[in-house]
Amino acid sequence: MEFGIVELSRLQFAMTAMYHFLFVPLTLGLSILVAIMETVYVMTNRPIWRQMTKFWGTLFGINFVLGVATGITMEFQFGMNWSYYSHYVGDIFGAPLAIEGLMAFFLEATFVGLFFFGWDKLSKVAHLTVAWLVAIGSNFSALWILIANGWMQNPVGAQFNPMTMRMEMTDFYEVLFNEVAQAKFVHTVSAGYVTASVFVLGVSAWYLLRGRHIELARRSITVAAAFGLASAFSVVLLGDESGYSATHSQKMKLAAIEGMWETEAAPASFTAFGFPDQEARTTHYAIHVPYVMGLIGTRSLTTSIPGIEELESQAETRIKSGLIAYDALMHIREARDNADPAETARFEAHSADLGFAFLLKKYVDDPRQATPEQIVQAANDTIPTVWPLFWAFRIMVALGFGFIATMLYFFYRASFKGMDFPRPALHLAVWMIPAPWIAAELGWFVAEFGRQPWTVDGVLPTAMSVSALSMTEVALTLAGFVIFYTVLFVIEMGLMLKYIRKGPFQDVEETDAWVIRHTERLAGRRNADAIAMPAE
Amino acid sequence: MILHSLIDYDILRVIWWGLLGVLLIGFALTDGFDMGVGALLPFVAETDVERRVAINTVGPVWEGNQVWFILGGGAIFAAWPPLYAVSFSGFYLAMFVVLAAFIVRPVAFKYRSKRDDVRWRTSWDWALFASGAIPALLFGVAVGNVIQGVPFHFTDDLHTIYEGAWYTKFIGLLDPFSLLAGVVSLSMLVMHGGAWLTLKAEGNVRDRARRFGSIAALVAVAAYALAGVWMALGIEGYRIVGDYLTTGPSNPLHFEVEKTASWLTAYSDRPWIAIAPIMGIAGGLLTFLGLRAGREVSTLLVSKMAILGVISSVGLTMFPFIMPSSSDPRSSLTVWNSSSSHMTLFIMLVVTVIFMPMILAYTAWVYKVLWGKVTEADVTDNSHSVY
């Protein structure tokens, strides 16, 4: 592959987006965990919960600020590096981004300051409200950015306008309730909740191993395990929902994830393991689990899922149809206001395939001049590189099941074994901390790399989306971001570790009266929630 | 959906042109004083406690303020996609510098006081200074370039092409007039930061803020007036030629545009717009007097008036142009040919009408909760919770 401006711009986008996504999942989940802890504090009035709120709140703050800072790059680099994309789909894609600012960013950013500075200025209930507003704001922002991203995966509710040479919105509700966007939203926020739960669990386990801050750590584990268990189930089930929606909208991505070269008779089997070979178009040493793929992808035993080669030949047909649309478009544009109705009708009949004609722009300036070989080549381009998708997906799913198992275990120990955690389990929890980040980054990779060669699936090829910049400019900013982000990352990790080592500002002792009642309750009903107690 | 035809396309375009102004002004009024405080930091605060007082005057609010910048980007994307595409890719390296500043600033605020180390804190103080002063300057430089026209053109399928090599694209932004515009915006925001510190701080920090803020106010007024004279004498304007549709499709290439002797002919066509520069100059002078006299609340208000006047004067003078092209005037972006579709503008207006009042209400509530001065005792007694 030739390395040009497109590849360099993609590298920069991937790097800045994946870096941004190191901080976002923790923000999504920790904002809610902190709000839950503060809710318990307000309901029970017990100082330990206030201490927990403040301690995890401090770590939340260190992480939150980098999520905000790196998010700024995301908001602006579409215009900087992807200006044709911005022009071409800004009419649809820009709206959720702006709504995200209005509805979510203002909410979280305005109240996050008050969360840290308002402890002495607000009543307890008012401060709790502020904590929840920060959490809701963070989660709303995920909703809107995933509506925008969902549209790139499944561009509904929009139509090409020959007069403006761009896609324009025809139905906002379709964009909003895009099934891909909705499935992605719930999957992504659940992933964030799992990330934060594993983080809280791991850090608390480390305290228990060291015999420090035991009161704080045991309660934190209990909250994290309960919340994490629900989230881990939800991230896997809703990930399955994403797969199901991809069956309708992104067949090629699904087939590539599966390494499914040829269409199988329904119900298709799931390839649990194998080595996909792009050249030979086969998956070596494949281990198949019968029926599973058909059930996941179509939720039926009779619908078949198309394989890569079938989709490739469909792409070739669509390229040829797209060429008719392209030719009609050129005539309409020349005539401007006096377009021939016959040309308009011809264009409209084929406009759904216009994007496929653009795939040829990589080879010829005027797609109508393309040779048959170039058309075959362009159809071949619609197949993403299979092996990274195949493996990234499988590792992500395995980690997902790992989270369910871990959370289930800690939830059991916390609820039924009086918060007694064996040391090996605590060690495991500490080592587990990086795992949700790996899963989240792989998930991003599967979604975005799997969409190639498109920025907007079937509408706009990536190669056409870039700005007319020089290699030098993009190389300079890429180098700048790498240096800059590395320094920030080192500083952030340093501070995180410092504050984790330092622990809470001061340990809070439970009152004697509370401890006595707590012990009594444990003795009386071992299965009762040992934590939640009425206010002293 | 046919609801959007309730409001005519050209009216929606004008509304969104106004909202673009509201966003820029909202950004300058709120985040402006954060940048101003950053730029003033080495001058108004010498000891660590003084610096922390200055930083904590904006500590709880900078995050919300910075959202004006982000929303500005998002709203331009949604309502003016060609402007978003052309300006950000055109000012590429300058944008990178601005982004770098906006990335480093939050981190500096948040992390500075998390370690007790002198080198650590001094480094972050420099970061706060640079990330306040540099974007404040560059925003003005960008406006200066837009006023003079930017060298770009569209191809037939609306790809944006910039004239010149990458270094001339970057260095070329820094021409004398644009630098003067940069001085206007930098001094204006420093003035605003001075007015804010006067209101929120005490003692030495407040006294120095009054002194430096009033100097900045005078510089801002002088530079702004000079830029006006320059525009009258030596800067070309643009106008649309022939018949054109204000409700037509958003394709810049459908218009004919030519250069004129000066933008300032707008003031004979629509004399009422003179109110904007008058507010700008009067606001700047009143801020100078207010800072000298030690008035607190009213000084901040007149400083806001100055910013409102200066920014809106640029938009009103150039209307209907948003970003003219100096090398191919036909490619110029105007209110009538570079917006989103009728439907998107309408939907975005509905969303804005619902959420903007809520945002203003809760932002006002937060400022009310935080009302009052930040004292040295506040920061030394609460070292673990404030910056």
Kindly report the nearest CA distance between residue A410 and chain B, in angstroms: 32
Least confident of A155-164, A229-238, A257-266, B88-97: A257-266
Residue of A nearest to B168 (CA): A473
Is the pLDDT at A343 greater than 90, yes or no? no
What is the arithmetic mean of pLDDT over A39-47?
89
**Comparing C-alpha atoms, which of B229, B230, B231, B196 is closest to residue B213?**
B196
Chain B CB within 8 Å of residue A71 CB: yes
Half-sphere exposure of A390 (CA within 13 A, CB side): 24
Is there a domain that residue B213 lies in? yes
Q: Which of A31, A110, A466 to mutate to test the interface with B (most CBs of B within 10 A)?
A: A110
**Segment holding B5, helix H or strand E:** none
Give CA–CA dist A235/A240, Å, rounded: 9
Contact A208, A421 (CB under 8 A): yes
Residues 49 to 68 of A: which have CB under 8 A from any B CB? 61-62, 65-66, 68
Question: Is the CB of A110 less than 8 angstroms away from the CB of B366?
Answer: yes
- Chain segment A506-533, per-residue pLDDT in tens: 656 555 565 566 556 556 554 444 444 4
Kindly report the nearest CA distance between residue B66 and chain A, in angstroms: 8
What's residue B79's pLDDT?
95
Question: Is the CB of B93 less than 8 angstroms away from the CB of A98?
Answer: no
Residue of B nearest to A103 (CA): B355
Give CA–CA dist A318/A381, Å, rounded: 13
Q: Which two tokens stand for residue B285?
A: 């002078």
Is the pLDDT at A417 greater than 90, yes or no? no
**Segment holding B27, helix H or strand E:** helix B9-44
Kindly report the nearest CA distance between residue B111 and chain A, in angstroms: 8
For residue A162, whether the previous peptide bond is cis, meaning omega lies within 30 degrees of 0, is no
- Among the partner residues B62, B70, B93, nearest to A101 by beta-carbon distance: B70
Say what the ipTM of the complex is.
Answer: 0.91
Is the pLDDT at A136 greater than 60, yes or no? yes
* Helix, strand, coil abundance in chain A, percent, nearest 5: 75, 5, 20
- Chain segment A176-200, per-residue pLDDT in tens: 998 888 888 999 999 999 999 999 9
Question: Is the CB of A98 less than 8 angstroms away from the CB of B369?
Answer: no
For residue B215, count other CB atoms closer than 10 A to its CB: 17
Chain B CB within 8 Å of residue A491 CB: yes
Is there a domain that residue B289 lies in? yes
Is the pLDDT at A75 greater than 70, yes or no? yes
Give CA–CA dist A38/A57, Å, rounded: 10
What's residue A518's pLDDT?
57
**Comparing C-alpha atoms, which of A398, A321, A389 is closest to residue A357?**
A321
Please report which residue ranges of A211-307 form alpha helices under DSSP H: 214-249, 251-258, 292-298
What's residue A528's pLDDT?
45
- Chain segment A480-508, per-residue pLDDT in tens: 999 999 999 999 999 899 999 988 876 56
Q: Which of B12, B91, B96 to mutate to test the interface with A (most CBs of A within 10 A)?
A: B96
Chain B CB within 8 Å of residue A100 CB: yes
Beta strands in A321-427 (DSSP E): none
Q: How far is CA A345 from CA A170, A437, B272, in A?
A: 19, 50, 49
> What string of DSSP letters covers B148-193?
H-B-EEE-TT--EEE-S-HHHHHHTT--HHHHHHHHHHHHHHHHHH
| Max CA distance (Å), chain A | 88
Q: Which two tokens stand for residue B125?
A: 């103080």
What's residue B36's pLDDT?
95
Characterize A145-181 residue by residue with b for buried, 16 or more Cβ atoms within 10 angstroms of its Cβ, and e for exposed.
Answer: bbbbbbbbbbbbbbebbbbbbbbbbbebebbbebbbb
What's residue A46's pLDDT?
86
Is the pLDDT at A246 greater than 80, yes or no? no
Which residues in chain B land under pLDDT 50? none
For residue B111, count other CB atoms closer than 10 A to its CB: 22
**Comparing C-alpha atoms, which of A242, A99, A104 is closest to residue A181?**
A242
Q: Which domain holds residue B274?
A: 8-381
At residue A58 the predicted structure's pLDDT band, cuts being 50, 70 and 90, is: very high
- Among the partner residues A95, A103, A470, nearest to B355 by beta-carbon distance: A103
Q: Which of B55, B57, B77 to mutate to test the interface with A (most CBs of A within 10 A)?
A: B77
Is there a domain that residue B333 lies in? yes
**Comparing C-alpha atoms, which of A1, A12, A21 is closest to residue A443?**
A21
The rounded percent of chain A whose pLDDT value lies above 70 is: 93
- Chain segment A247-295, per-residue pLDDT in tens: 677 888 888 888 888 887 777 778 878 888 887 788 888 788 877 777 7
Give CA–CA dist A29/A52, Å, rounded: 15
**CA A136 to chain CA mean position, Å:** 17
Question: Is the CB of A467 less than 8 angstroms away from the CB of B160?
Answer: yes
The three-class DSSP label of residue B375 is coil
What's residue B111's pLDDT?
86
Question: Is the CB of A161 less than 8 angstroms away from the CB of B104?
Answer: no
What's residue A174's pLDDT?
92
Is the pLDDT at A384 greater than 50, yes or no? yes
> What string of DSSP letters covers A30-70?
HHHHHHHHHHHHHHH--HHHHHHHHHHHHHHHHHHHHHHHH
At residue A534 the predicted structure's pLDDT band, cuts being 50, 70 and 90, is: very low
- Among the partner residues B61, B110, B384, nearest to A61 by beta-carbon distance: B110
| Residue whose entry in the numeric block shows the structure tokens 């599967």 | A446
Is the pLDDT at A535 greater than 90, yes or no? no
Please, what is the angle between helix A179-210 and helix A423-432, to 10°?
Answer: 130
The three-class DSSP label of residue B30 is helix
Give CA–CA dist A412/A423, Å, rounded: 15
